[in-house]
């Protein structure tokens, strides 16, 4: 029996994850918590999880700052960070802090299951965004005064802003009039994650309103 713990402060997303895990053969969610404090309270030898799915931002707490404590209490447990953050700094902080996997929210349920299985079988998991962050770091590690922020926003050969596949999907739904709540439900993510995607999209596209984004998308996709 594979024992899994989920910590996320979004009750809707937490319930979905617990339900998804419960549908898998020989998997059981032994701990579900909305905060790290609750997770620590529920941890005991009988319910010691094999893997922890951990959201980065839990209300006012950055969970990456507590990875060392988690590893000391449960050294054999794998930790997969579940987040909407794709910036290189978050990925690298998570991996150097002790996380075994980094999964960007917004994929299909099957992607979440694959992240868990790969972490358990291979010992680690990196989604495409996380892998790109590692590559960027390796490429820039020998350069003086380089920073993760300097390489966070890339452009393709046409000069058009490079949005991730998920950001493109969110942007298209947004300009088509879908609400944050509807977008969140469609992509199996929280409303806060949608807000984060929209903020990133606006920054990369150099806009501040949905009308400006709609106009910019027409130009970029011509």
Assess whether pLDDT exceeds 80 at residue 61. yes
Say if residue 74's pLDDT is above 80. yes
Rounded to 5°, angle at Cα 20 from 182 and 116: 110
Q: Kindly report the length of the chain.
A: 222
User: Alpha carbon 128 to chain centroid distance?
Assistant: 11
The pLDDT assigned to 219 comes to 56
Query: Above 90 in pLDDT, residue 34?
Result: yes
pLDDT at residue 52 tops 90: yes
Mean pLDDT of 141-155: 39
- In tens, the pLDDT along 78-136 reads 999 998 887 888 888 998 899 999 998 877 788 889 899 989 888 888 877 777 777 77
Residue 154 has pLDDT above 70, yes or no: no
Question: What is the average pLDDT across 64-68?
Answer: 93
State the pLDDT at residue 146: 39
**pLDDT given for residue 32 in this prediction:** 96
* Model confidence, pTM: 0.65
The confidence score (pLDDT) of residue 192 equals 86
* Higher per-residue confidence, 59 vs 51: 51
The pLDDT value given to residue 182: 87
Among 87, 82, 105, 113, residue whose Cα is nearest residue 186: 105
pLDDT at 143 over 50: no
For the residues of 25-53, what is the DSSP string, one character each? TTEEEEEEESSHHHHHHH--GGG--SEEE
pLDDT of residue 158: 37
Residue ranges and CATH numbers for the domains of the chain are 2-135 (3.40.50.2300), 153-220 (1.10.10.10)
Pick from 27-41, 54-68, 100-114, 194-208 the range whose average pLDDT is largest.
27-41
How many CB atoms lie under 10 A from the CB of residue 94?
25
Average pLDDT, the chain: 82
Q: What is the average per-residue pLDDT within 176-185?
A: 86
Q: Judge whether 52 and 46 are in contact, CB under 8 Å.
A: no
Residues 67 and 98 sit within 8 Å (Cβ to Cβ): yes
């Amino acid at each position: 029996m594979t024992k899994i713990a989920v910590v996320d402060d979004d009750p809707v997303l937490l319930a979905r994850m617990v339900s998804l895990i419960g549908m898998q053969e020989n998997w059981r969610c032994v701990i579900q918590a909305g905060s790290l404090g609750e997770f620590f309270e529920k941890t005991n030898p009988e319910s010691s999880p094999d893997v922890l799915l951990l959201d980065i931002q839990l209300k006012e707490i950055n969970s990456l700052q507590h990875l060392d404590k988690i590893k000391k209490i449960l050294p054999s447990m794998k930790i997969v960070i579940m987040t909407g953050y794709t910036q290189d700094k978050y990925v690298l902080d998570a991996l150097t802090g002790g996380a075994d996997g980094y999964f960007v929210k917004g994929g299909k349920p099957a992607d979440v299951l694959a992240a868990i299985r790969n972490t358990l079988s291979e010992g680690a998991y990196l989604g495409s965004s996380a892998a790109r962050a590692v590559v960027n770091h390796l490429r820039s590690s020998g350069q003086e005064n380089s920073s993760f922020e300097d390489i966070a926003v890339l452009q393709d050969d046409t000069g058009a802003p490079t949005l991730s596949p998920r950001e493109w999907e969110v942007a298209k739904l947004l300009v088509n009039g879908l609400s944050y709540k509807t977008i969140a439900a469609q992509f199996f993510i929280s409303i806060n994650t949608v807000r984060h995607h929209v903020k990133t999209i606006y920054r990369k596209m150099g806009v501040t309103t949905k009308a400006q984004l709609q106009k910019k998308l027409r130009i970029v996709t011509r």
